[in-house]
Structure 1
Amino acid sequence: MKHPAVASVPDTRDTFWRTLQTFCATRVVIAVVLLVYVAFNQIKGDRPVAGPLDWHTCVAYLLLAAGFAAMVATYRRRFMWQLLAQIVVDLAAISLLYVMAGGARSGLAILYLFPLAGAAILAPLVLALFFVSVVTLLLLAESGYQLLQAADEVLASQAGLYGAAFFAAIFLVNRLAARLIKEEDLAAQRGQDLRLQEAVNRIVIADMTDGILVVGAQGEVYAGNPAAERMLGLPLALGHSLQSLHNATALAPIAEAFGAWRDGRHDAAGDDKAAYVMIKPEDALAPMTGSDAVRSYVLHLKLRFAGVQTPGLPDRRTVIFLQDVSEIENRAQQLKLASMGRLTASIAHEVRNPLSAISHAASLLAEDMAQGPQARLLRIISDNAVRLNRMIEDILRLSRKAQPHGDPVLLGPWLADLLAEFREVHKIEHDKIHLGDMFQYQVRFDPMHLREVLVNLLTNALRYASARPGSIRVHAVAPKPGRLELHVQDDGPPISPEVRAHLFEPFYTTSSRGTGLGLYLARELCLNNGAMLDYEYRTDVLGDGQPGGRFVITFGAIGGAV
């Protein structure tokens, strides 16, 4: 059977050279011990004074051992030739000392095990057994010579026992060495495959459009791919200081979703393991204008969690997949808009004719009833007919993606007038809606569009808010220079994750009386004016640590403080 050392070209295998270096170092130690042994015997007087051949053999063996060690360290070529030369020198030196020391009674036969073991480990089995045969024959020859000389205390069986023991030991060592070499080859092959797979994984992960986060049990971030870095605006690659989902404000929604998944509050079946969150990266991208700036500032992410199975290990890891679903939602909505195009055109045509008749009739009645309560009712009819006509035009514009030119709007006075009218129409107390101080903020937004958006949000808030004063709050926040957010929130129960996932889809509604177009049209009106409308679920919304939600309008064009 061919030894793996020969088959795998040992000149290129570092393991064999390191093993040979170890044998060389051991040889130097053995040569020094032999030299001390000869000197000790001479001083003790157990045998005749050592002759020059003993000393010369030990000194020469020590010099050759040092030379072999130096050669292996400096000249890594012709491995098998170096190994054979060293084994031959070992056998020759040990044989000379063995014969001169008196043969078997000297106890030096055990030294043969050193070169024979080296041959068993580093040479093919046939060659190792050849050297064992040579040593056995030498031991038998020396014993036979002693018998012929009629020497005392000569045991012929001792040489045979040494030979048999050497054959068994060398065969066993060679088989174990061959097995270890095969295991090393397999490990090296597996390591090469693993490195290749890691290189492929790095390329695939680096080019993925979806973000990947590797987090610990407490939310500590261990690694992330470039897509996750771009989404979150944080350094997440290996080599950076460890982040935590709980330390960064921008990652708070992800931390909450991860905590919910970790605690088992998500259904384990199907796509229910996914969570939808909105994040606002702390490190904004390059300055942009219009809706592109808002889209870069507000990201909608679909989160999927996958636990890493680590049986028996104390540390647990979870892989979080981040998918930006903003564009997917936009494409889905575009498909729905395509089907809405003809429907809206037909509805607009069918509704405008009766609406025109209503407006004309209201005008004729107003000529006869210039005063009295009937005149006020006619004015309400006329105003709502105009508003309904404007809404139809907005729907048609949305289907054509027309971009209106926003006018400067001073938020404080404008919102005060809107809320006064809203309170009168809905017959609610003045202190139920709290308006924050925002007189210094000015935005560019079509006033009628902004009116439709705010009325829609306030109507939804009024439906779920309690009767307490300040249960509905409207206030502005400027988180960064050049950014302005308008928050509309109430103290009602937050929207469930299942509803949040489809909140702004057209025709999606949880009310039997709703059409499912209110929030969708509100968001589209915001996008057409370079803004973004979204729902934000946070634990600090209500100010008392209780979870809640709020609608947030992020303006893309700000007129500046006044």
Structure 2
Amino acid sequence: MLPLSREARATMWRSLQTFNITRIVIALVLLLYLGVSITDNGLRTDAVNTEACVFYFLAALAFAGFGTWWKRRFVVQLGCQIAVDLAVISLLYLAAGGMRSGLAILYLFPLAGAAILAPLVLALFAASVATLFLLAESTWQVVMLDRQAPLMQAGLYGGAFFAGVLLVNRLAARLIKQEELAAQRGTDLRIQQLINGIVIADVGDGILVVGDDGLVFTGNPAARQTLGVEGDAAGFRLGEAPGLEPVAQTFAAWLRAPVEGAAFVTVKPYQEDVGPLRGRRDQPVHLKLRFARVDTVGVALGRSVVFMQDVSAIENQAQQLKLASMGRLTASIAHEVRNPLSAIGHATALLAEDLHGPAELRLLKIIGDNVTRVNRMVEDILQLSRKVQPNGEPLQLSGFLAELKLEFCETHGLAGDIVYIGDPGRSAVRFDPLHLHEVLLNLLGNAVRYASKAPGSIRIFPARDAAGRIELHVQDDGPGITPEVRAHLFEPFYTTSSKGTGLGLYLARELCLNNDAKLDYEYRFDAAPTGERKASGRFVISFAQPA
């Protein structure tokens, strides 16, 4: 037997068992048809036919049992079975009277089995044996018994036997090759699936397979860890959990208008135990989301893959690397930079008393402005190391925000209706007032730089996240911050303004961390006048719960 795969060998043994069962049925039919005849005196048995049919039936049962319990030597078993088939059929053929009995058609059964299951040489050998027997029997009747035997019919049977064997054997060989190819492709596919499973399970980025309706079909361990989902990340909808609503809304917006690039969302702390979803996150996580559509042409249900990368750790690592060098720089700034800077500022003031020409005054103003800018940078850097213990007393937001708005508008010469303050009610937060004052002045200073100065163009309003914690949103109607800039927004010395030092937002975040709060730039979805939900960016301060 040619070397075949395990699946192909199993198919051959099943086919042999089918061949054996067919033999049992044929043996029973022959026993009833040839071994027993009905006469006027009742049933009459033919000794030769009955004994041959009974032997054939018992041999068929033995072959079936032997092939079931001992799957070895396939070709040997098949050869023995075909030999018994040819011998019994030849005996019945002779007992029935030769070609005129019509039993020559029975040779098609063993020859078809040999053509399907045996090598071509063995199948042709069986066909030649059957053909030679028919020709020999016909010739014997003509020569020895002087009878008119149908030699032409015997020759036609022989030609049909050879043609049928060749055709069936080639078709069977082609089917076996196709099965071998399918088995090989199946093995390769299973191996590839195992490899993909290992890679997906080991990859650091979270991967979710989501339907168009937001139903999660599967997710890798990184996705479960990132979202805080317990058990299998499957069987729930993204919109079911308020904590996962930013992911669901971003995915829905991408489905409506697929665009390349990444989106940034923040998953707030949450705890859910609704339906199939079991999840909990104690700390917020900033995610970079990418979406890819699965090509399901002709399939009614669409699938998409959501790639989630936790950029919080990357941002923190980048900041730590910069802080390592900044810490060494801070110690020398007070003596190496601040003292010469004071001398330059003092000398500029003395020169201004003696020089009154327009050109001189312009140059002195340039020197003074740059001295002020460098001095502010020095103050910001020195303030990074001042980790003052925060005030643990609750801070009422209503009076604090009202005073802050009044001071800010007077300082920048703004009308009172430009800054809108949402009603905080009786909300109280645990935050040092001086630190919160500095953080909000920094955020409002950035907002007034890009806002349209229209009424309500700058908004400060409180809200609550899924866990019930108080948030303070600072938003303006400017163009917003792009995801590319957002990735570096809180890095020290990173700025998009020629007048900035790149330390304001970083200092604001550090002050929030010093008060057990979080500061981040988030993309939230607000209801537009048309009824659609439109994404807009804003700074969000997540306060710690008051003690």
Matched-pair contact (CA < 8 Å) for 1:308–1:316: yes
Deviations 1:397-423 (A, max 9, x none): 53x6x6442222424344444344334
Equivalent runs, 1:83-122 vs 2, <5 Å: 83-122=78-117
Deviations 1:339-367 (A, max 9, x none): 656776676554567679999xxxxxxxx
Structure 1 position 57, deviation (Å): 1.9
The residue number in structure 2 matching 1:24 is 20
Equivalent runs, 1:63-82 vs 2, <5 Å: 63-82=58-77
Equivalent runs, 1:152-551 vs 2, <5 Å: 152=148, 154-234=149-229, 237=232, 240-241=234-235, 243-264=236-257, 266-267=259-260, 273-280=261-268, 282-283=270-271, 297-337=283-323, 350-351=337-338, 392-398=378-384, 403-409=387-393, 410-412=395-397, 413-428=399-414, 432-437=419-424, 439-443=426-430, 445-463=431-449, 464=451, 467-468=454-455, 472-477=459-464, 479-480=466-467, 483-490=469-476, 494-540=480-526, 545-551=533-539
The residue number in structure 2 matching 1:51 is 46
After TM superposition, the structure 1 stretch with the greater mean CA deviation from structure 2, 317-326 or 506-515, is 506-515
- Please state whether the residue corresponding to 1:81 is helix, strand or coil: helix
Matched AA of 1:437: P
Deviations 1:269-312 (A, max 9, x none): xxxx233222225349xxxxxxxxxx962222222333333444
Q: 1:61 aligns with which of 56, 69, 78?
A: 56
The residue number in structure 2 matching 1:377 is none
Does 2:9 align with 1:13?
Answer: yes
Q: 1:466 to 1:74 in 2, by over 3 A?
A: farther
Deviations 1:69-106 (A, max 9, x none): 23333443443333223222211221111122222222
Matched-pair contact (CA < 8 Å) for 2:35–2:49: no
Number of residue-to-residue matches in the alignment: 505
Q: Structure 1-normalised TM-score? A: 0.77
Structure 1 unaligned runs (5+)?
268-272, 285-294, 360-387
Q: 1:462 to 1:170 in 2, by over 3 A?
A: same
Structure 1 position 225, deviation (Å): 0.3
- Please state whether the residue corresponding to 1:192 is helix, strand or coil: helix
After TM superposition, the structure 1 stretch with the greater mean CA deviation from structure 2, 494-503 or 514-523, is 494-503
Matched AA of 1:332: A
Aligned-CA RMSD value: 3.8
More strand by share: 2
Structure 1 position 327, deviation (Å): 1.9
Matched AA of 1:330: N
Q: 2:147 aligns with which of 138, 151, 158?
A: 151
Higher relative contact order (Cα pairs below 8 Å, separated by 6+ residues): 1
- Please state whether the residue corresponding to 2:526 is helix, strand or coil: coil
Matched-pair contact (CA < 8 Å) for 1:462–1:472: no
The residue number in structure 1 matching 2:125 is 130
- Please state whether the residue corresponding to 1:251 is helix, strand or coil: helix
| Identity value in percent | 55
The residue number in structure 2 matching 1:34 is 30
Deviations 1:438-483 (A, max 9, x none): 545231x4433322111112333445266436962332526426x4
Structure 1 position 147, deviation (Å): 1.8
Q: 1:229 to 1:9 in 2, by over 3 A?
A: closer
Structure 1 position 193, deviation (Å): 2.9
Matched-pair contact (CA < 8 Å) for 2:17–2:64: yes
For 2:173 and 2:269, how far apart are their aligned partners in 1?
58
The residue number in structure 2 matching 1:370 is none
Matched-pair contact (CA < 8 Å) for 1:434–1:473: yes
For 2:211 and 2:387, how far apart are their aligned partners in 1?
46
Q: Structure 2-normalised TM-score? A: 0.79
- Please state whether the residue corresponding to 1:297 is helix, strand or coil: coil
Matched-pair contact (CA < 8 Å) for 1:504–1:519: yes
Matched-pair contact (CA < 8 Å) for 1:488–1:551: yes
Q: 1:95 to 1:204 in 2, by over 3 A?
A: same
